[in-house]
Amino acid sequence: MFVYILQSKKDGTFYVGSAKNVAERLLQHNRSQSLATKGKRPWILVGAEEYDTVSVALKREKFFKTGRGKRAIRNLYLKK
């Protein structure tokens, strides 16, 4: 299971999700098959982390959606 970070090319915001197949999930986001992200297309993949279990991946995803986690994303993946 992967936790992935997408960045909108439209406005620079990011989105965190989890999936077994990151490439397919990115295509779904860019085809407007996700209500949460369809308004900010196109999306690019800026990072992905693989985990052995779904529960560990979901904990990491939940962390990335906190204030500390958002700062970690900026430090790890969105440096320019």
Q: Look up tokens 């992967």; give the residue.
A: 2
User: What pLDDT is recorded for position 77?
Assistant: 87
Class of domain 2-76: alpha beta
The model's pLDDT over 16-33, given as tens digits with 9 standing for 90+, comes to 999 999 999 999 999 999
The model's pLDDT over 66-79, given as tens digits with 9 standing for 90+, comes to 999 999 999 998 76
Cα(37)–Cα(35) distance, integer angstroms: 6
Which residue spans within 1-80 are E strands per DSSP? 2-8, 14-19, 43-50
Q: Show the tokens assigned to 36.
A: 């949460």
Predicted structure pTM score: 0.93
Q: Sketch the domain layout of the chain as residue ranges.
A: 2-76
**Is the per-residue pLDDT at 80 higher than 70?**
no
- Region of poorest pLDDT, from 35-44, 45-54, 55-64, 71-80: 71-80
